């Protein structure tokens, strides 16, 4: 969840730098810096979504013995 929020914040900061501020850094324009921050925020957001979706998979264990079978469905423990 932290990566998703971090990506959103980074994207917003990049948009502010790109469209609202005029930062004077030697060798780097404010529009370039804003674009870099926005792209980084978008990538971080997508990575956070993928990690969140990956951690919600259900684990299925099936054990077959002569005459009966046992199935267990459970969610894996949450990652921190």
Structure confidence by residue, pLDDT tens digits, 14-59: 999 999 988 788 888 889 999 999 999 999 999 999 888 876 666 6
- Taking residue 29's Cβ as centre, other Cβ atoms within 10 Å add up to 13
What is the model's pLDDT at position 22? 85
pTM above 0.85, yes or no: no
Indicate the burial class of 53 (C-beta count within 10 angstroms; 0-12, 13-18, 19 or more). Answer: exposed
Indicate the burial class of 27 (C-beta count within 10 angstroms; 0-12, 13-18, 19 or more). Answer: exposed
């Amino acid at each position: 969840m932290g990566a998703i929020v971090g990506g959103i914040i980074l994207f917003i900061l990049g948009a502010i730098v790109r469209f609202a501020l005029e930062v004077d850094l030697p060798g780097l324009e404010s529009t370039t810096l804003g674009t870099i921050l926005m792209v980084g925020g978008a990538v971080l957001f997508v990575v956070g979504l993928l990690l969140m979706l990956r951690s919600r998979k259900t684990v299925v264990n099936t054990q077959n013995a002569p005459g009966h079978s046992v199935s267990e469905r459970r969610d894996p423990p949450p990652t921190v």
